[in-house]
A and B are shown apart, each in its own frame.
Chain A
């Protein structure tokens, strides 16, 4: 069964450094998403992306965050200047469509640790 794949599985970064998290969505999916989950807390929506542009973003997704689809397969999340509170699991998800009964399928996540 097709999967969403994410790399790396664990990223350790010094505060203030830039980090790029990578995702390969399921190949016939058109909508891509980033979520994060701080340890012990809810899964929170960050951003959705369709047709090479952001379709929706949350208040968390401030100017320090950006997303890009640099080629036909990868979808990346960049955090420009990381803060301690950015430490979390980051999940990429994808879906065929955004409406109706189209579930979002999640990757295994990247654990981001900011020191």
Chain B
């Protein structure tokens, strides 16, 4: 059973600040890691994927992966009110399914 844990939040940051989200996973065989954004009542929307140790940047988002520590994180730079949402960490191994964390709710204060 894959377990994916996220810092519980909620996380409140002022506009323009950096939001830092953390995720740990239990299955060492996990291969692919994804961050999804979910607005209230909406579906998960893919924002980042990462497969190799290190950092991956896409616009204001940076994902970091450390497989030895079984840890993946997401940084949101220059946070905007539109970034207010729940961020879901999802992990995939050699099987077909994504295992999701419970999510961290981020609120960006204007």
Contact = CB atoms under 8 A, between A and B. Distances in A.
Contacts, number: 55
Contact of B100 (A43, A98, A100, A107): A43
B51 A100 contact: yes
- Name the interface size band of chain A: 20 to 34
Contact of B49 (A41, A101, A108): A101
Given A31-B96, A98-B96, A109 B43 contact: yes
A48 to B, nearest CB: 4
B43 A107 contact: yes
Contacts of B32: 100-101
Interface residues of B, number: 23
A107 B97 CA distance: 16
B94 A45 contact: no
Contacts of B43: 89, 91, 106-109
> Which 8 pairs show the lowest CB-CB distances between chains A and B?
A48-B96, A45-B97, A43-B100, A56-B96, A106-B43, A109-B43, A106-B44, A98-B96
Interface of A: 31, 33, 35, 41-45, 48, 50, 55-56, 58, 89, 91, 98-101, 103-109
